[in-house]
Amino acid sequence: MKVSRVVAVALAGAVLLAACDGDADPGADAPAPTAGEAAAATTGPDDAVTTTAPPGSSAVPELVPVAWPDAPRELTEVEQEFLYAPGPYAGEAYDEEAAYQAVLAMEPGSAAEWQRAIQSQVQGDYAEDVQAAILFDPSLSEVSDGPTQGEAPEVEAVGSNHFAVVLDASGSMSAQGRGGTRMTEATSAIADFADTLPEGSTLSLRIFGQEGDNTDAGKAESCASSEVVFEGDAAGQGLQQALAQVQPVGWTPLARAVTASAADIPEDASDGIVYVVTDGLESCGGDPVQAAEDLAGSGIEPVVNVIGFEVGDADQQALRAMAEAGGGEFTDVGSGADLEEYWAQEYSRMMDAWSEWRRAELERVQDEGRASMAEASEVGQRLMDGAQDEGERAMDLASRLQDEEVVDRATGNEVWRWALDRKNEMWRWALDRKNSNWRAAYREQTRTWREVYDEGSARWSEYYRQQRGD
């Protein structure tokens, strides 16, 4: 009479992840063992049999561990169970009859040898997924720098908030304007602009044509002059003092000043914005169009905006060509009030830019976060499914050994119980790792999303308040 077969109902679990908007926790407890499994698993841990017991006189091979020389830490016992060389009948290659005959051909003796023989045939290929699960990094790519030039960033990050103002100090800037001299109106508008820049912004002020005078005798000295008279926190008092000391006296070395302004943008800025304020054309023989093109094509890639202060039609065309070469825009202003209105329009552009930056970054964070959560889920689920399938196959082989009276009841039960316990431990480890990695990815997505949202909203609000004059 054959020994009755122990009927095993496979331990199965399914974790339902909320994939919509990434706002649900996938955590789920492992399902309780069935009555049959629970009854067979009542023996304590002291009765468990290791899978690496030395073989006796049989042909049962030793299991071969998968090498992981640069593992980040010492692996736990259950993690090591995943990391053996896969058997010939692992995964989709499983053939119960072939695996069973291969186990019999090894002629195991003890329960430990039967266990090792079975495992050598059905051991799954988990190395890549186990390593991915242990090394899982929920980090997202770095948040790009916010816009300075009023345009939304595309692929590469744009620079920090630095504004480089290049001011014409040639003699013509002493001409009378609507509310004082052109220089008085220009410096007043620049000061107001600096006062309303967002907190933490830096600004540099370069003047040109400030040396010599606007006679032929003073031309050489004037054409060689270009100097930074202020750089630092836009809200500092130093800028006001520097502006008050600018005296319009010389010629217009516009190209020299534009070329030199490349050094005005901080080294840690990936780009910046240059505002050239002038009332006329180059008068020192330089090529400001080429200078603007060269500056825009440099490593820092700044945008060159040109503000023409009471310039004629012919001069406007030349200054517009210069702005286009610098990747910026030309704006004609006829007074200090017009210049202040220009700055207000800049605020509107920057509001739009920060709004678009926020939208683009939030979309990126959401997409990357979802991908990270999906990776955690997929890797964990593959490990769970692999442990489940391998365990059930090992249990089936152990049951068949009893059914066909190849082993006695005690040996058969011990081998079957080993397969059950090993399956459950590996499955629960995979479930825990799946859930913990998913939650880590979710937390990182949430944290970064909030960081981007708060930064974009705060910057937009700053420009909005400044535009309103609050």
pLDDT digits 0-9 by tens, 105-121: 999 999 999 999 999 99
Nearest CA to 126 among 189, 83, 165, 89?
83
Predicted confidence at residue 17, as pLDDT, reads 31
Predicted confidence at residue 269, as pLDDT, reads 58
Average pLDDT on 38-56 reads: 38
**86-105 pLDDT per residue, tens:** 999 999 999 999 999 999 99
Which of the pair, 314 or 203, is modelled with greater confidence?
203
Predicted confidence at residue 79, as pLDDT, reads 96
Average pLDDT on 310-338 reads: 84
Of 55-69, 267-281, 372-386, highest mean pLDDT = 372-386
Q: What is the CATH number of domain 162-334?
A: 3.40.50.410
Nearest CA to 258 among 272, 275, 271?
275
Average pLDDT on 344-353 reads: 73
Relative orientation angle of helices 96-105 and 111-122, to the nearest 10 degrees: 140
Average pLDDT on 164-190 reads: 87
Predicted confidence at residue 82, as pLDDT, reads 96
pLDDT tier at 254, thresholds 50, 70, 90: very high
pLDDT tier at 40, thresholds 50, 70, 90: very low
pLDDT tier at 232, thresholds 50, 70, 90: confident
Predicted confidence at residue 460, as pLDDT, reads 67
Which of the pair, 207 or 350, is modelled with greater confidence?
207
Whole-structure pTM over 0.85, yes or no?
no
Average pLDDT on 209-216 reads: 90
Residue 132 has pLDDT above 70, yes or no: yes
Q: What is the largest CA-CA distance in the chain?
A: 124
Of 39-43, 84-88, 261-265, 320-324, highest mean pLDDT = 84-88
The share of the chain scoring above pLDDT 90, in percent, equals 46
Location of each CATH 3.40.50.410 domain in the chain: 162-334
Give ∠ CA 158-275-325 in degrees, rounded to 5. Answer: 75
State how far the Cα of 350 lies from the Cα of 226, in Å rounded to an integer: 29
Q: Within 10 Å of residue 72's Cβ, how many Cβ atoms?
A: 9
Q: b/e for 12-24, b at 16 or more Cβ within 10 A?
A: eeebebeeeebee
Q: Show the tokens assigned to 56.
A: 């006796």
Predicted confidence at residue 54, as pLDDT, reads 43
State how far the Cα of 70 lies from the Cα of 441, in Å rounded to an integer: 24
Residue 427 has pLDDT above 70, yes or no: yes
Average pLDDT, the chain: 80
